[in-house]
Chains A and B, each alone.
Chain A
Amino acid sequence: MTTTAKTADVPAPRQDGDFEGPLLEVRDLHVEFVTRDGVAKAVNGVNYTVGAGETLAVLGESGSGKSVTAQAIMGILDMPPGRIPKGEIFFRGQDMLKMSNEERRRIRGRKIAMIFQDALSSLNPVLSVGYQLGEMFRVHQGLSKKDARARAIELMDRVRIPAAKERVGDYPHQFSGGMRQRIMIAMALALEPDLIIADEPTTALDVTVQAQVMDLLAELQREYNMGLILITHDLGVVADVADKIAVMYAGRIVETAPVHELYKRPAHPYTQGLLDSIPRLDQKGQELYAIKGLPPNLTRIPSGCAFNPRCPKAQDVCRTDVPQLYPVTERDGAELAGRGSACHFWKETIHG
């Protein structure tokens, strides 16, 4: 089953307009930062779409531009030093980059919410969690302090924080890591947004807690039929929850695919390298594969394909021509829906 088919199955999204297209569409987005060492090109022409109820996993090493893209969507980039020289971000068909600050603010938290990696530093240390949760209702819905607190307790129950009523007045540092991340999720969920962006939501957590938090997130997403962008560097997290994957490298999407196909048949040497570097039980005793070299310096991205200095398949063309995202097909030319690879040699990569 292809991704498109899968998204078509899900119940119709809760619409407040007549817009029929995807919930979110990012088109040719560029983001750069002015630094002491020059201009760092963090995002260099990213395209992706997310539909209601759909989960897009964005995969990449740190510095690949996955978080920066998310911050641009959210409108929380630090500008300056950041700037968006080019690109569009459509939310329900409207380009958010052309909206006024006030219009964008009304979308943030209410329509698009974000879950951050480090809940401890992302929650305000001197305000109680009840206050921080209730704030969503007070600001966006004009609820009284008392009602907002009641809703905060409901939310905490919703994300299964034990003894919510007693703990609503506690401060972030009084919770465990997993509980804090649940509070972050509750905060993102508060106004039942259309889209949630989760930036490495489980990276900072213990392995045992990771699965619980991920399951909770997936369950709530299904229940509210929200779009979800899951940003991660962990291939393991992605497999169970995502519908499709976009792999990023040096600010570009190098491969897109429905989740299980990517694992089975990667069409980009970088993806292949990532998959090969996961330890596997059946390869016990063998040396673990590692992609050689380092991620590129974003102020001096290599010419041609950014991955060429580290790529085992690199040819001369890779050092001169930037590969576009080619549609990936079967050997006989049959279309593979939702698949693309930004490699000059995708055919060799996928078909061996």
Chain B
Amino acid sequence: MGRYVARRLLQMIPVFIGSTLLIFLMMYALPGDPVRALMGEQAFDPSVVENIRRDLGLDLPIWQQYANYLGGLVQGDFGTEIASQRPIADIIAEAFPVTIRLTLFAFTFTVLVGIGLGVIAGLRPDSVRDRGLLTLTLVLISMPSFVLGYLMQYFFAFQLQLTTPTVQDSESIGDLFLPAIVLGSLSLAYVARLTRTSMAENLRADYMRTAVAKGLPRGRIVGVHLMRNSLIPVVTFLGTDIGNLMTGAIVTESIFNVQGVGDAIFEALTRREGATVVGIASLIVIVYLLTSLLVDLLYAVLDPRIRYA
């Protein structure tokens, strides 16, 4: 197992380099120039701009810039924003906890409600409640999160005045409640459907017939034999979904005005701060890669037929 993890970690390196390089290249293809954006409208001396560019290493060939960047990243140096002269690590340290909190909150909601609904529907495939849930999840999936977000904002904040329309305090669970539901709703719908399908499928499995033939009580047949098998795909989905939730947070944050990663990315994009965008993206890519490794390991634990290979 240790060897498997080590090998997987090694395999991640090229993927990580490739993904970040791609984002890096795209950022540098951006038409704007951060140094010029810094100067604003005022008249400037081209030689001054040249000097700043040289100091920042922006005159080097792009592959060298990337190598320098990666070298810094390995030592934990994300670089410095050009305009504000703030270390990018600071910006990340400020924005990430907010987004992670929101993501975890949404994730908990997804797991509890999604699996709960899926089980309720999956135990009786094709019943009224099953069809009802399928319809509900279909509606949830077909609503882009900004639609759901604004609908929720309109009803809960403007009509019922239960909450403030935007998040005032990103540490408060009450404030994050609505954004978390909006963020989690799409995953919730997928989890509910996956749980339902997986249960309905396993319900027909031969070993379920055996469990009945053994004279086991229904609670045990469902709780042990059915759930243990049905939740395997759900758990793997949930694992890979953490990354999606983190990027989905970009939209939710913009609706509810949460000062998280999405906010930071937007600001950096408009000011053409390439290093900030690449830095944040790299972290999210790492989250993606690590969760997918975690999922694979978990998969092998849950399903004895899978061996580390």
Partners in one complex: yes
A286 at the interface (CB under 8 A from B): no
The answer to whether B206 and A126 touch across the interface, beta carbons within 8 angstroms, is no
Q: Write out the residue numbers on chain A whose beta carbons fall within 8 Å of the beta carbon of B217.
A: 105, 139
State whether the Cβ of A279 lies closer than 8 Å to any Cβ in chain B.
Answer: no
Tell me if B210 and A139 are in contact (CB < 8 A): no
**B residues less than 8 Å from A116 (CB atoms):** 206, 209-210, 213
Q: How far apart are the CA atoms of A80 and B217 in the complex, in Å?
A: 20
Q: Is the CB of A122 within 8 A of B207?
A: yes
Residues of chain A lying within 8 A (CB to CB) of residue B228: 124, 126-127
Is the CB–CB distance between A171 and B213 below 8 Å?
no
A43 to B211, CA, bound (A): 24
Q: Does A118 contact B (CB under 8 A)?
A: yes
| A108 part of interface (Cβ distance < 8 Å) | yes
Contacts of A110 in B (CB 8 A): 215
Partner among A78, A106, A118, A139 whose Cβ is within 8 Å of the Cβ of B220: A139
Instruction: Indicate if the CB atoms of B303 and A126 lie closer than 8 Å.
Output: yes
CA distance A76 to B204 in the complex (A): 12
Q: Is B61 on the interface with A (CB-CB < 8 A)?
A: no
Residues B274-309 near A (CB distance < 8 A): 302-305
Chain B 209-228 per-residue mask, 1 if CB under 8 angstroms from chain A, else 0: 11111111100100011001
A123 at the interface (CB under 8 A from B): yes
Determine the interface band of chain B, counting residues with CB < 8 A from chain A. 20 to 34
> 0/1 per residue, A281-319, Cβ < 8 Å to B?
000000000000000000000000000000000000000
Nearest chain A CB to B106's CB is how many angstroms away?
29
- Contact assessment for A173 and B207 in the assembled complex, using a CB-CB cutoff below 8 Å: no
Q: Is A125 touching B305 in the complex (CB atoms < 8 A)?
A: yes
Residues of A contacting B304 with CB < 8 Å?
125-126, 128, 171, 173
Residues of chain A lying within 8 A (CB to CB) of residue B207: 121-125
Of residues 4 through 58 on chain B, the ones whose CB sits less than 8 Å from some CB of chain A are: none
A124 near B209 with CB under 8 A, answer no
Query: Within 8 Å of chain A (Cβ to Cβ): is B138?
Result: no
Min Cβ gap B203→A in Å is 9
Q: How far is the CA of A110 from the CA of B214 in the complex (A)?
A: 8
Further pairs besides A108-B212, A125-B303: 9, Cβ < 8 Å: A107-B215, A108-B213, A122-B209, A124-B229, A127-B224, A127-B225, A139-B220, A173-B304, A173-B305
